[in-house]
Amino acid sequence: MWTKERLQETIQAKMADYLLVIASNRQPYSHVLKSGKIICQRQPGGLVTAMNPVMQAVRGTWIAAGTSPYDRQVLDEQHKVKLPPENPSYSLRRLFLSKEETNEYYYGYCNSGLWPLCHISYTRPVFLTSDWKAYQKINEQFAQAILEEVGSERAFVWVQDYHLALVGKYLKEANRPNLITSLFWHIPWPNPETFRICPHRRELLEGFLAYDLLGFQIRYHCDNFLAAVDLELESRIDREKISVNYQNKETFIRAFPISVDFQAIEQEASSNTSRDLCEKIREDFSIGDKKLLVGVDRVDYTKGLPDRFRAIDRFLEKYPQYKEKFVFFQLGQISRLHMPRYKQLNDEISALVEGINWKHSQGSWVPIILMRSYMSYQEILALYRMADACIVSSLHDGMNLVAKEFVAARSDADGVLILSQFTGASRELPDALLINPYDYESFADTIAQALELPKEERERRMRKMREAVEQNNIYRWAGKVLSQLLKFEFQET
């Protein structure tokens, strides 16, 4: 089984002579001012959950965009800071974007264009020429930072997600034979008919095919990508090798289902600190001995939060005997409020929760607790540990690591996972209670089923899910990607 130690041993044995550079838009930690002191704060999201333990194992360099003036203040002369703060083991190099660049590249092309294009959640993508130019510019800046970081040393460059699809193209144009490049696409890849909406589809595909290796979450996304290439480019697709030959370059396409650090999560969630936090959360939010359902998400329209709340509403209509006997705790960290679609979603969620709580409240009890402020990772693991059920009801998700975190946290083999069939995780965790988040009636019935499931059945399902997540952990994912990269040979200079 892959472990952190095995990954480290593999890297020391086979990659000791090479650099490993990871590039992503999101940084793993940010520096913020609290009580007059600059503190280091872990960032939310699946990318950070997955990559942070990998980087601690490989001791490489992570290049990402800084977001605050305090992020600048802690950097050394190479624009770097050592992370994580409690046990520094890798370097973070930060780039800083102007407000205009952030607006056009991040909020514009990335999150008004590519994000809705790739997630089938019925939000229309918007593609502006100015946003596309900014996307190209920032991708080129990341490529330049990578080239500066690597110099003449042989290096594996592992680019992350939809923000940086063109980095490989700019690295290729620099004609550096000392680089082997890979892109991992964390979000879904749409079917060809959907992808045709994008006016820059040919340029994006050419950017993808500048990499040596492409990784997607599941085989279905690989197939969608190959179908898009087949439709848009004059290329040769090798179905047996699962590769594309385009303009005298071969790019390999693989499915690498991403995961979490099972052992670390299990250990932290089982600690005395976690138990103390459980008690504190129960007391602070007057949960007492009530049944507890939890949701942990960024506030994003792909996560299906309004549908989740409507299912809770329908559940209480159909099963009124649960009034005053359960609480649904939703941690919903606000994101991208600069964008009208997200502000609209945030307002919709506020109105829904207020209306449902008013409708069903009895005395001091309300069914939904909506927590928007920051909670530490330790507090989130405590939530998982104390929950009777965790709801993951994404409308479309490449993987969804909340589902796997919840399973890893349950060393007691208890708790129920209610999981959308439209997540990549549903393919690995069939012992969850699978739902269609658009079907409120069935969703409501599944919530009741989760609360009524016998202990023996809960434990049987959880043990099987824990075995799957433990075997297919984050180190196995990283090990498979790095093992694939090691098959490539550096060009002769």
Query: If we measure between CA atoms, which residue out of 329, 350, 247 comes closest to residue 287?
Result: 329
The residue type at 82: K
Q: What is the model's pLDDT at position 13? A: 85
Q: Which residues pair with 225 in a beta bridge?
A: none
254-265: per-residue pLDDT in tens? Answer: 999 999 999 999
Q: What is the model's pLDDT at position 104? A: 97
In sign, the C-alpha dihedral spanning 453, 455, 459, 460 is negative
Instruction: Output the pTM of the full model.
Output: 0.94
Q: Which residues contact 114 (CB under 8 A, 6 or more apart)?
A: 125, 162, 165, 198
Q: Are 473 and 2 in contact (CB under 8 A)?
A: yes
CA angle at 465 for the pair 5 and 471, rounded to the nearest 5°: 25
- HSE, CB side, 13 Å, CA atoms: give it for residue 326: 24
Which residue ranges of the chain lie beneath pLDDT 50?
A: none
CA angle at 233 for the pair 229 and 239, rounded to the nearest 5°: 45
**In CATH, what number does 262-471 get?**
3.40.50.2000
Q: What is the model's pLDDT at position 492? A: 65
Q: Which residues contact 75 (CB under 8 A, 6 or more apart)?
A: 81, 94
Q: What is the model's pLDDT at position 493? A: 55
Instruction: Retrieve residue 285's tokens.
Output: 């939010």
- HSE, CB side, 13 Å, CA atoms: give it for residue 155: 21
Q: What would you report as the CA-atom Rg of the chain, rounded to the nearest whole angstrom?
A: 23
Q: What is the model's pLDDT at position 57? A: 82
Q: How many CB atoms lie within 10 A of CB 235?
A: 17
155-160 β-sheet, strand order: 80-83, 90-95, 61-65, 19-23, 155-160, 179-184, 213-216, 249-255, 243-246, 236-238
What is the domain partition of the chain in residue ranges? 4-258+475-485, 262-471
What phi, psi does 132 have (nearest 5°)? -65, -40
Which CATH superfamily hosts domain 4-258+475-485? Glycogen Phosphorylase B; (3.40.50.2000)
Q: Do domains 4-258+475-485 and 262-471 have the same CATH topology?
A: yes
Q: How many CB atoms lie within 10 A of CB 289?
A: 7
What string of DSSP letters covers 67-83? -SHHHHHT--TTSEEEE
What string of DSSP letters covers 385-442? HH-SEEEE--SSBS--HHHHHHHHH-TTS--EEEEETTBTHHHH-TTSEEE-TT-HHH
What string of DSSP letters covers 159-170? EESGGGTTHHHH
161-178: per-residue pLDDT in tens? Answer: 999 999 999 999 999 999
The whole-angstrom separation of Cα 372 and Cα 376 is: 12
The whole-angstrom separation of Cα 100 and Cα 108 is: 10
Q: What is the model's pLDDT at position 10? A: 85
Instruction: Retrieve residue 8's tokens.
Output: 């480290």
